[in-house]
Amino acid sequence: MTQQKVTKAVIPAAGLGTRFLPATKAQPKEMMPVVDKPAIQYVVEEAVRAGIDDILIITGRNKRSLEDHFDRNFELEYYLEQRGKHADVDEVQALAELADIHYVRQGEPLGLGHAVQVARKHVGDHPFVVLLGDDIMSERSPVLEGMLSIYEQYGRSVIALMEMPIEEISAYGCVKPERVADQLVRILDIVEKPQPAEAPSNLGVVGRYVFTPEIFDMLERVQPGVGGEIQLTDAIGMLLAAQTVYGFTFVEGRYDTGKKIDYLRATVELAIERDDLGPEFRAFLSDLVRERGWLDG
């Protein structure tokens, strides 16, 4: 069965980034660099690699630099051209040509579900992808491509899942799975941040979703929870009663850059994988470990 091709993505990026204060006091957390690119650029590039060409970024106050980053900067381009830095000119111009990127503000911080709900007018009756701005996926782990393949096969929503240490499951949405095939489960139930003893599995929901447009109807029906927030997990639970929802499981290549240790890990591992930086950086790390004696004992 041929499904409608997914060409639209929604990236919620309205959060305040309080876990990275004071760095995020005057700049969006999504603009914090990972090696030499802001975190949100990795997310946009991931969507583009998967064939997405229409991207809506949900922003908030003090997020104007996100728009500037993906726009042309003629003064900078002229400066670089005058100094013969043609490769740099090509790179900054390419940012404005990655995809059709649109922006809308989430007027109030009413949760992830509300941020997705804000996208309804733009998305319309089309299937779409949601990519959380805090989660960077390595190119070696093509999660989104795999999820879109599942959608094309079944025509139903697909949620990205990873096995988590059970003591950490209370930080995630968690699903009750029924195995269908390798890397594929049917989701029977979903709960938000359960205590370990009450978790239906150790599969946590992580930052990537492919949705049928029916999710918007569910978001309209969700009752606000703690703090008046509309939970996306609650809407997914409602969707389960109306149609099958699948889970795509994977094991590596994800960095939660909202956590300081994962931000550091992303910076190191993504730098190591680069052809221009990897060899010299690996040598530096090897020398550092040896000099500090971290392998002794």
pLDDT at 22 over 60: yes
Tokens of 212: 């049928």
* Amino acid at position 192, single letter: E
DSSP 274: -
- Number of residues that make up the chain: 297
pLDDT for the residue 153: 93
Contact 208, 144 (CB under 8 A): yes
How do the residues of the chain divide into helix, strand and coil, expressed in percent and rounded to 5? 40, 25, 35
Contact 158, 271 (CB under 8 A): no
pLDDT at 16 over 90: no
CA–CA distance, 132 with 116 (Å, rounded to integer): 10
Rounded to the nearest 10 degrees, the angle between the axes of helix 39-49 and helix 143-154 is 40
* Amino acid at position 172, single letter: Y
Q: Quick check: helix, strand or coil at residue 83?
A: coil
Tokens of 63: 């997020």
pLDDT at 285 over 80: yes
Percent of the chain clearing pLDDT 70 (strictly above)? 98
Percent of the chain clearing pLDDT 90 (strictly above)? 70
How many CB atoms within 10 Å of residue 242?
12
* pLDDT tens column, 119-172: 999 999 999 999 998 899 988 888 999 999 999 999 999 999 999 999 999 989
CA distances, 17 to each of 5, 21, 24, 27, 123 (Å): 33, 7, 6, 9, 26
How many CB atoms within 10 Å of residue 291?
8
* Amino acid at position 147, single letter: M
Strands (E), the chain: 8-12, 33-34, 37-38, 54-59, 100-105, 128-131, 135-137, 158-163, 173-181, 184-192, 203-211, 246-249, 254-256
pLDDT for the residue 63: 86
What architecture is domain 8-258? Alpha-Beta Complex (3.90)
CA–CA distance, 5 with 3 (Å, rounded to integer): 6
Instruction: Give this prediction's pTM.
Output: 0.92
pLDDT at 282 over 90: yes
DSSP 2: P
pLDDT at 297 over 60: no
Q: Indicate the domain borders of the chain.
A: 8-258, 261-297
* pLDDT tens column, 161-192: 999 999 999 989 999 999 999 899 999 999 98
